[in-house]
Each structure stands twice: as C-alpha cells, then as structure tokens.
C-alpha cells in the first residue's frame, strides 16, 4: 500500500538532509557542464565536500547537443584518460580525433560525479558571492524558477572554502565578483577580457593554460576561462573542458591543503588585487 503523504515525507526529509550537508563546503562549483562535473568528481573522489549548483533542471551544460544538435562530441588524445576514468565509451575517428555519444557522455559525467559523493542542487541559481577579508567565501543561491519569475524573494547563503566558476560562456561568478566588489582579477587587464572567435587549436590550449585561481578563493574552469582571459572559442571539441576540470581540481586540492599560493582559508592574495572595504555581499 502506498501512502501519498509518506512519499512527500520521504522526499522532503531526504532533500533537506542533502541541502543541510551542502551548507559548508570545501568547494562550491557553479555550473554542471563538463568542466564543473569533472572537477567535482575528482575533488569528491579525493574526499573533499563538494556541491554543484546548476541553474537548469538537467546537468551536462553544452554537451547534449554535440555540434549544431548533432549529438556527438569530439575529443582529442590528451583527454582520453579522463573519458576512460569516467567509463565513457569512445571511438577513434582519425589520427588524434575521437568521438563519443553526447547523451552517453552527459549521463556518465553526472553518474560518476554523484557516485563519488558530489551533491548536485539543480534548478538552483548562483546569483551572488560571499566576500570576507579579501576572499570569496561562498555563494548566494536562489531557486531558478523563483529568479526567473522575478519574485521578490531573498536568496540563501552557502559557505565554501573555495568557489569554482564553471558557468561556461557567461562566466557569471566572475562577472558578479567584478561588478559588485570592484574586484581586480588575475587576468591580463585585471577585468574580464571577453571570449574571441572560433580557433579550436588556440582556444583549447589557452583554456587549459589559464585554468586556475582568478581571485582569492575563486577559480575558473572550462569555457568561463576563455571568457575571463580572452581565449578563442573551440566549438564542439570537449577535451579542453575535461582537462580544465581535472586541472582545477588539482589546484584546488593543493590550495585546500594549504600548499599553494592561494592557500584556501589563508589571506594570501596571489596575483589578484583584493578589493577594498570589509565586504558588502
């Protein structure tokens, strides 16, 4: 016999267990695209407490549609070990080029990340950051349907020792950090340089190279890196996104352990210039 109220009780109790365990994190990841899910999975496998906040209902970001809605993705040699690590089936195409089914890839990334213990809060939009003593110390969230309905509802705060902007082309966390805190980022100009046109070879290289901390406590991976640092776009080749996700997980792990230049929880400012004032976010 099924009791309808028990179903409601089960969902609400289990959901709030999950939500409560996401209130104080080692890493808050904004965006459940390929770079965010790969970073989340490796951090969780290394024992870190990680949650991913995704404004859409589905995870996977830009993977599902492959290129122009042809649902295959291309991956280069360097990223094959990540595909293998996630159990993603791939096929050799020509020298150095491999393909994978986009739906299978999106599903496998979400499966492996959640299997590793990553909490995913979907339909949950990050609209602001927490800022204390010169560092980003968390994110401010609101349910996406509430945000898009324009309801006057206050958001809630999530504490995190490190925050990852994996929001893709929009680089939303970096934008809010610059806009609201007058922050100087660790970029060539100190601001958000803006994404350039299509040039896959250069774009992939630059995304991987510039993946890392952009402001104390705030890191960027994936397409957000191209937007922040002024890299070229690369179309539906996804190796750079996966490698960028893995690279940022290594950097964050090092910083959480206190071994890196931007040691999480410390006040070191790395290349970024801390904003003045005591914080107003």
109: left (phi over 0), alpha (psi -120 to 50) or beta: alpha
If binding is defined by CB under 6 A, does position 168 make contact with ligand 48H? yes
**What's the chain's length in residues?**
281
* Residue 270: CB minimum distance to ligand 48H, A: 22
- Distance in angstroms (rounded) separating the CA atoms of residues 136 and 133: 9
If binding is defined by CB under 6 A, does position 55 make contact with ligand 48H? yes
- Distance in angstroms (rounded) separating the CA atoms of residues 105 and 109: 6
If binding is defined by CB under 6 A, does position 140 make contact with ligand 48H? no
One-character DSSP codes across 61-129: TTSTTTBTTB-EEEEEGGGHHHHHHTT---EE-STTEEEEEHHHHHHHHHHHHHHTT-EEEESEEEEEE
If binding is defined by CB under 6 A, does position 239 make contact with ligand 48H? no
DSSP designation for 263:
-
If binding is defined by CB under 6 A, does position 105 make contact with ligand 48H? no
Residue 24 DSSP SS3: strand
* Residue 268: CB minimum distance to ligand 48H, A: 27
Q: State the binding string over 59-98 for ligand 48H (x if CB under 6 A, else -).
A: --xxx-----------------------------------
If binding is defined by CB under 6 A, does position 216 make contact with ligand 48H? no
If binding is defined by CB under 6 A, does position 136 make contact with ligand 48H? no
Binding segment for ligand 48H (CB under 6 A), chosen from 9-17, 108-116, 228-236, 258-266, is: 228-236
The residues that touch ligand 48H, with contacts defined as CB under 6 A, are: 30-36, 53-56, 61-63, 125-126, 166-170, 172, 222-224, 233-235, 238, 241
């Amino acid at each position: 016999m099924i009791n309808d109220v028990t179903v409601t009780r089960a969902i609400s109790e289990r959901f709030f267990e999950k939500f409560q365990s996401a209130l104080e994190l080692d890493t808050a990841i904004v965006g459940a695209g390929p770079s965010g899910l790969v970073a989340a999975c490796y951090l969780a496998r290394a024992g870190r407490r990680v949650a991913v906040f995704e404004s859409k209902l589905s995870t996977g970001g830009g993977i599902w549609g492959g290129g122009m809605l042809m649902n295959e993705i291309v991956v280069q040699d360097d990223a094959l070990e990540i595909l293998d690590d996630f159990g993603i089936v791939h096929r050799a195409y020509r020298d150095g080029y491999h393909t994978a089914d986009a739906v299978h890839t999106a599903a496998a990334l979400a499966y492996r990340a959640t299997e590793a213990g990553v909490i995913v809060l979907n339909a949950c939009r990050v609209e602001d950051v927490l800022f204390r003593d010169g560092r980003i110390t968390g994110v401010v969230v609101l349910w996406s349907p509430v945000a898009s309905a324009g309801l006057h509802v206050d958001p809630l705060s999530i504490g995190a020792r490190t925050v990852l902007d994996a929001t893709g082309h929009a680089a939303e966390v970096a934008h809010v950090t610059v806009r609201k805190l007058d922050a100087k980022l660790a970029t060539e100009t100190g601001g958000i340089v803006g994404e350039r046109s299509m040039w896959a070879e250069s774009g992939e290289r630059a995304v991987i190279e510039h993946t890392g901390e952009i402001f104390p406590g705030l890191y960027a991976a994936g397409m957000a890196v191209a937007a922040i640092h002024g890299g070229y776009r690369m179309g539906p080749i996804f190796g750079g996104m996966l490698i960028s996700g893995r690279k940022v997980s290594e950097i964050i792990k090092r910083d959480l352990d206190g071994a890196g230049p931007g040691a999480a929880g410390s006040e070191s400012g790395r290349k970024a210039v801390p904003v003045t004032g005591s914080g107003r976010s």
